[in-house]
Structure 1
Amino acid sequence: MNAKETDLLKKTPTEYDIHPLIKNRWSPRKFADTPITETDLNHLFEAGRWAPSCYNWQPWRIVWGIKGSETYDRIFSHLSEFNKDWVINAPVLLLTAYKKTTPEGKDNFHALHDLGQFVAMMSIQAQHMGIAVHQMAGVNPDKAKAEFGFPEEYHVATAVALGHYGGDMDDLSDDLKDQEKAERSRNRVEYFTFQGNYVDRAELDK
């Protein structure tokens, strides 16, 4: 790994050893000028394709657009104003959606979980390719759903920005620069795992 690549890594204070593809993954708001091709995207989608899902129903649906395309602009138009401020430099935008019902028309309680597994698999493949994945809750799901013609039994969940790690920090506002430089943190494993009954760790911390 060269010096430039090292500069793109964020320190991840893990307590147990994990794979570098997971440890070094993070969600930047700036991206290198390196383009992402349709072939690159197909590698990412192929990784997501093999995610596990309930009864192998594969409820995920992905709308994608490369910067400069009409689809990119249509996705962009449904992002929150906060996300529009920084995502303008992203080479690719995605919308993630899922089918809420089973083939029999019943509620598929696990569909959102399965979409998450698709994106997780895609994110690991992206990390392997030096591509950053930044998921966004700030999207108008109902307007995006209508814009792209999804039937009633579908729900738009998130938007996703894709781009190679890199880019100029000066492209960001001062507040976002601080967030980009901030140290990473997560709850300890003991906070969310239980060998027995659930315990509200937040209550114990008071």
Structure 2
Amino acid sequence: MPLASDLAPRFAQTDAPLIGALVERWSPRAYDRNAVVAPETVQVMLEAARWAPSANNSQPWRFIVAHRGTPEFTAIHDALMGFNQVWADSAAVLIVNLVETADAEGRERPFAAYDLGQAVAHLSVQAQHLGLHSHQMGGVDRDAVKAAFGLGETLQVLSVIAVGVPGDVDALPEALRERELAPRTRLALDEIVLRSAA
């Protein structure tokens, strides 16, 4: 019964020394369905998101936080699509990531999605630092989430994060278990840095 947390190969094989939370961060699907993440711990993660940079300090991110066992958690889980529904119910917390696409005067915020991405990155690294794992999901019925929570037109659902403690990999269906155990890979730096002038 291998636990996701026991899988040392999940650590990033980096070409430069990085902080521990980045090296150890990965996105499990196997979560311990009995583990609880305290609201105070989630607050710390959200505080990290709050201090992310944003264009003109607009802070266009908003979040819906739901703990396992609540109607809100069920509503978010029910809106997930595909394989996400198979495993995400074992996470301790589901967080909907929302972006405010226009300001109070109706002016478009062209960098809002980029800014939300930075806030979510801060949140996920803080979660890792706290000994938790997170998994980002884009497969979600955005209209269903908006309807379930009565969201206005300027708030757009971008993604959902599952947060929790890694659990038993063998509890996953075969197709997901293979993905959980597969080696982690990234493009080489010379493939993503198009030009670097020193």
Task: Compute the TM-score of the two structures, normalised by the length of structure 2.
Answer: 0.91
Aligned to 2:169: 169
> How many Å apart are 1:5 and its aligned residue?
9.6
**Equivalences for 1:15-164 in 2 at 5 Å?**
15-32=15-32, 33-164=34-165
Secondary structure of residue in 1 paired with 2:150: coil
Higher Cα Rg, which structure:
1
Aligned to 1:178: 178
Identity of aligned residues (%): 35
Gaps (5+ residues) in structure 2?
none
Secondary structure of residue in 2 paired with 1:161: strand
Partner Cα separation in structure 1 for residue 11 and residue 183 of structure 2: 7
Q: Does the Cα contact within 8 Å between 1:61 and 1:98 map onto a contact in 2?
A: yes
Q: How many residues align?
A: 193
Gaps (5+ residues) in structure 1?
197-206
Secondary structure of residue in 2 paired with 1:81: coil
> How many Å apart are 1:56 and its aligned residue?
1.0
Segments of 4+ moved more than 3 angstroms: none
Task: Compute the TM-score of the two structures, normalised by the length of structure 1.
Answer: 0.88
Partner Cα separation in structure 1 for residue 139 and residue 57 of structure 2: 29
CA deviations 1:100-146 (Å, max 9, x no partner) are 01343221110000100111111111011111010101101122112
> How many Å apart are 1:65 and its aligned residue?
0.7
State the AA in 1 paired with 2:19.
H
Aligned to 1:187: 187
State the AA in 1 paired with 2:193.
T
Q: Does the Cα contact within 8 Å between 2:4 and 2:167 map onto a contact in 1?
A: no
